[in-house]
Structure 1
Amino acid sequence: MTPPAPTGNGPGRKLGLFAAIALVMGNMIGSGVFLLPASLAPFGWNAVAGWIVTTAGTLVLAWVLASLTRASPGAGDPAGFVAEAFGEFPAFLVGWVYWVSVWTAVVSIAVAAVSYLSAFVPVIGATPLLPAACAIALVWAMTLLNLRGVQAAGNFQIATLLLKLVPLIAVIVIAALALCNGTAEVRPFAMSELNGIDLRGAAALTLFALLGFECASIAAAQVENPAVNVPRATMWGTGLTAALYLLVCSAIALMLPEAVAASSPAPFATFVERYWSAGPAALVTVFAIVSCVGAVNGWVLLQGELPRAMAMRGMLPRWLSATDRNGTPRAALLVSSVIATICLMFNASRDMQGIYEFVLLLSTSAALWLYLACALAAWKMKVARGFALIGAVYALWTLWGAGIAASGWSLVLMAAGAPLYWWARRGAAV
C-alpha cells in the first residue's frame, strides 16, 4: 500500500492559486522561447501547425493530470498516481528519471541565463570556466532563496513572471500594430507547404518550450487546497502559456524574412528593432535574463519537492524527506543542487552553447516518460480514459520525435536508479 503523500507546510505558508499558476507559467517560460523563433523560421506555416498539435497534446496531458488530482487527491503527485496504478517500483523509475530531468533543466536554464548575461559582460564568455562558475552561483542563489521557504520562492516566482510577460505582450502588440498600419505582412500561406516531415520537426521543437505544465502537480504538497487549485493552475497555466507562445513565435517567424529570422542570434530583439527601434530591442536581453532566473527558481523548488515526496513513500532514503519548521525540504534541496553543481563542473570545459545543448535534450526526453506513465495510469484507473488514450499516443509520438539516442539514454538513466531504490527499501526494512 502506498504511504500517504506528504502534507507540506502549515496553513498560510503554501502557494495560493495565483502563485501555483505562476509556478507553472514561470517554469514553462524559460530560456527557449527567446531563441525558438529562429529555429522555427525555416518551417514556415508548418511551425504554426506544430504549435497547434503540440499545444493540443500538452493540454490533453495537462487535463489527464488535473483529472488524476481530482480523482485521487491522496496520491499527492504524478509518482503517486503511477504507484496507485502500477506499484511502487514503476513509480520510482519514472519519478527517478523525472528527477534527473529536473536538475538537468536547472543546469540548462542557468547556463542560458549566463549566456544572455555575457552579452552585457563579455568577459564571462571569454574567460575559461567562468560561465560554469556563474551558472553555479545562480543555482545556489536560487537554492538559498528556496531554503527560506515556499512563500519566499512563490513571491519571487510571481514577480519574475510579471516581468517576463512584458516582452511577450510587447511583441504581440507590435505585431498587431504593424499589421494594422500596413508596415508588415505575414508570409503567404500555401496548403502545399504543409507536410508531415516538417510538421514533426516543428512539433519536436515546440515541445521543448511546453515542458513544465506538470509543475503544480509535482509541488501539490506545497499548494493550498491542492484538489482544487492544482487542476486549475495546471490548465490555466498551460493554456495561457501555450496561447502566448503560439502568437509570439508565429508572429516573429512569419513576419520577419525567413533568412533574417533563421540567422538571428536574438530573434526577439531583431523583431522589436525592425518594427520599433534599437533602444527597446536592447532591453529584450534583460528580460531574457529575468525569465531564466525565474525559471531556475521554480525548477529548484521542484528539485526539492520531488525527492522529498519519493522519500516519504520509501522510494528514496528517508533522510531526504526531512523538513524544517517551515516545511522546506532542506536535505533534498541541497542534494539536488549539489548534483546540478557537479553536472556543471563536469561540463565546464564546454562552451555555453555546448553545455546547454548537452543537457536540454536529455531533460526533455527524460520528462516524457513521466507523461506517458501518467496517461497509462489514468487509463488503468478509469480516469478520463479518452484523454488518457490520446495523451499516451501523443507521449509515444513525442518520444519518437525526440530521437532514439535521447530516448535511449533516458532509459539507461532510468534503469541506473534501480540500485538506489533497492537500497532505500532495504534501509526502510531494517
Structure 2
Amino acid sequence: MMANTKRELGLMAALALVVGNMVGSGVFLLPATLAPHGWSAMGGWMIALAGTLALAGCYAALSRQMPGTCGPHAYVETAFGPRSSYIAAWSYWIGVWVGNAALAVAVVSNFTVLWPALGQDPLLSAVMAVLVLVLVTLINLAGAPAASFVQVATTGLKLLPLLAVLAIAAWLLATKGAAAVVNPPQAMHADGVITSVTLTMWAFLAFESATVPADKIRRAHVTVPLATMLGPLLAGVLYKAISAAMIALVPADALAGSNAPFADFAAPFIGGQAAALIGVFAAISALGTVNGLTLTVAELPRALALAGQFPTRFAVLNKSGAPAAGLILSGLLPAGLVLLNIDRSLAGLFEFTILVATSAMLIGYLAVAVAAVKLLKGWLRLVGVLGVVYSLFALYAAGLEPNLWCIALVAAGVPVLLYSRR
C-alpha cells in the first residue's frame, strides 16, 4: 500500500509544515514569560536551538534510514517494540493536550488588548480559556471540512505579529541607534539560562512534523531530513531576533507584566488601535493552532484504539467522520487542567502548562534519541547521544512540579493499556 500512496509534498511544502507548526506553538506569550530572566534568556534560546538541532538530527537520520516510515513512534517501535512505542505515543498525546491548554490561555491573554478585565480576573480568564477549548472541540466534531476552514482562515495571520515586531525594532535601531536600547546586553546568569531552556524549547515543539506524513512526501529520504533540520534553524533565528529586540527595547518590568507583549511592544509606535490588531492577530493565530492540534490529539487515541492499546469506543467515528470520543476527552482534559490551576495569573498559568507540555513531549523525544543510538551506525550514533543528553537536561531544567505532573500523567497510561487489553 505504501508504494501506491501519492507523494504530493515537496521540500518547500514540508518546510512550511515544520515552520508553520512551530511558529503557531504559542510563542506570542514567551517574551513576557522570559522577561524576568533578561539577557540570560538568550542563553536559553541558544541551548534550546542547539538541543533541538541535535534531536532533529536524530529524526533526520532515522527518516533517511527508514524512508516512508510515518512518525517518531514507528522509530521507537522498530528499536524497542510496541510497549515502548505506546509510552512514547501516550507522552506525545499528553504533551499535545496540555499544550492546547497553554494555547487556549494564549488566546485569552492576547485578547486582553480588547477586554482588559480578562487579565485581572483569574476566574474569568480561566472560564474564557475553557470556552475556547469547547468552541474548537465543537468545530472539530462537525468534521474535517469545518476544521480545515478555520485552519486556512487563521494560517495567514500567524506571521504578521512577528514581522511587525521585527520591522519596528529595525526602524528604532536605524533611527535612534543605541539611544533606543533601554536594557543593554548584560552578563548571563546560570540560573536564568537553565530555567529558560525548557521555556524556550516550547517554541520548537513540532519540529518533527515532516516525519509524520512521510509517505506523502516526494523523495522522503532527502526531503524529510532537510525540512526537519532547516525548519528549527530558520525558526530559531527568527525567535532569537524577536526575543533580543524585546529584551533590549522594552523595560523588563513592563514586559514581564504584559498579557499581550507583541501588542504592548507596538503600541507606542503605531498607536493603541493598530497595536490591538497585532494582539488580535496573535490571538487568532493561537486559536488556529489549538484547532489544528485538537484534531491531532483526537486522532492519536483512535490510532491506539485500532491497535488495541486504547478503549475501543475511541476508534468509532461520528456521522461527520470525526473521532467524537477522542475529541471530547481531549477537550475535557485541558479544560480540567486550566480549572485546577485557576489561582494562577495568565502568565503563571501559561508558564506552568508549557513546562508540563514540554516535559511530556521531551519523554517522546528522549525515546527517539535512545532509538537513534540503537539503530544508527558509526558517527551518527553521536547525534543520538547528544539528543539524549539534551532531553535529560531540558527535563531537569523544567523543575520539580512540572515533572511530577508529567510523571503522574504518563503513569496513568499504564492502567489504560491494561484495561484496553482485557
With the shorter chain as reference, the TM-score category is 0.7 to 0.9
Within the alignment, does 1:280 sit opposite 2:279 as a pair?
Answer: no
Residues 239 and 320 of structure 1, relative CA distance in 2, 3 Å threshold? farther
CA apart distance, 1:114: 2.4
CA apart distance, 1:91: 1.7
Q: Which string of whole-angstrom CA distances, capped at 9 and with x for unpartnered residues, describes residues 185-233 of structure 1?
A: 444445xx1343332123233123222323443x437955593665454
| Match for residue 250 of structure 1 among 227, 238, 244 | 244
Residues 41 and 360 of structure 1, relative CA distance in 2, 3 Å threshold? closer
CA apart distance, 1:407: 1.7
| Match for residue 173 of structure 2 among 171, 179, 196 | 179
- Which residue of 1 is the match for residue 83 of structure 2? 89
Residues 390 and 164 of structure 1, relative CA distance in 2, 3 Å threshold? same
Q: Which string of whole-angstrom CA distances, capped at 9 and with x for unpartnered residues, describes residues 226-251 of structure 1?
A: 93665454334323322221111111
CA apart distance, 1:416: 2.0
Counterpart Cα distance in 1 of 2:150 and 2:5: 20
| Match for residue 220 of structure 1 among 213, 228, 247 | 213
Contact 1:114/1:134 (<8 A) preserved: yes
- Which residue of 1 is the match for residue 406 of structure 2? 410
| Match for residue 397 of structure 2 among 383, 394, 401 | 401
Unaligned runs of 5+ in 1: none
- Which residue of 2 is the match for residue 108 of structure 1? 102
Q: Secondary structure at the match of 1:303?
A: helix
- Which residue of 1 is the match for residue 262 of structure 2? 268
| Match for residue 79 of structure 1 among 73, 81, 91 | 73
| Counterpart amino acid of residue 370 in structure 1 | G
Residues 108 and 199 of structure 1, relative CA distance in 2, 3 Å threshold? closer
Deviates more, 1:360-369 or 1:68-77: 68-77
Contact 1:118/1:124 (<8 A) preserved: yes
Deviates more, 1:356-365 or 1:374-383: 356-365
| Counterpart amino acid of residue 252 in structure 1 | M
Residues 203 and 352 of structure 1, relative CA distance in 2, 3 Å threshold? closer
Q: Secondary structure at the match of 1:401?
A: helix
TM-score relative to the length of structure 2 = 0.83
- Which residue of 2 is the match for residue 167 of structure 1? 161
Between the aligned residues of both structures, percent identity stands at 41
Please show how residues 299-310 of structure 1 align to structure 2 within 5 Å. 299-310=293-304
Counterpart Cα distance in 1 of 2:112 and 2:264: 18
Counterpart Cα distance in 2 of 1:151 and 1:325: 13
Within the alignment, does 1:197 sit opposite 2:191 as a pair?
Answer: yes
Counterpart Cα distance in 1 of 2:67 and 2:400: 35
Residues 17 and 60 of structure 1, relative CA distance in 2, 3 Å threshold? same
CA apart distance, 1:268: 2.1
Within the alignment, does 1:390 sit opposite 2:386 as a pair?
Answer: yes
Contact 1:308/1:321 (<8 A) preserved: yes
Counterpart Cα distance in 2 of 1:141 and 1:15: 31
| Counterpart amino acid of residue 81 in structure 2 | G
Within the alignment, does 1:377 sit opposite 2:371 as a pair?
Answer: yes
| Counterpart amino acid of residue 242 in structure 1 | G
Contact 1:315/1:424 (<8 A) preserved: yes
Contact 1:23/1:216 (<8 A) preserved: yes
Q: Which string of whole-angstrom CA distances, capped at 9 and with x for unpartnered residues, describes residues 238-284 of structure 1?
A: 23322221111111111223344344443323321334433422222
Contact 1:25/1:237 (<8 A) preserved: yes
Residues 31 and 216 of structure 1, relative CA distance in 2, 3 Å threshold? closer
| Counterpart amino acid of residue 227 in structure 1 | A
Within the alignment, does 1:211 sit opposite 2:211 as a pair?
Answer: no
Q: Secondary structure at the match of 1:115?
A: helix
CA apart distance, 1:82: 1.2
CA apart distance, 1:358: 4.7
Contact 1:153/1:297 (<8 A) preserved: yes
Residues 199 and 360 of structure 1, relative CA distance in 2, 3 Å threshold? closer
CA apart distance, 1:323: 5.6
Contact 1:38/1:263 (<8 A) preserved: yes
Residues 128 and 49 of structure 1, relative CA distance in 2, 3 Å threshold? closer
| Counterpart amino acid of residue 213 in structure 2 | A
RMSD: 3.6
Q: Which string of whole-angstrom CA distances, capped at 9 and with x for unpartnered residues, describes residues 314-340 of structure 1?
A: 322345345689986455334423444
Residues 77 and 313 of structure 1, relative CA distance in 2, 3 Å threshold? farther
TM-score relative to the length of structure 1 = 0.82
Please show how residues 49-60 of structure 1 align to structure 2 within 5 Å. 49-60=43-54
CA apart distance, 1:392: 0.8
| Paired residue total | 416
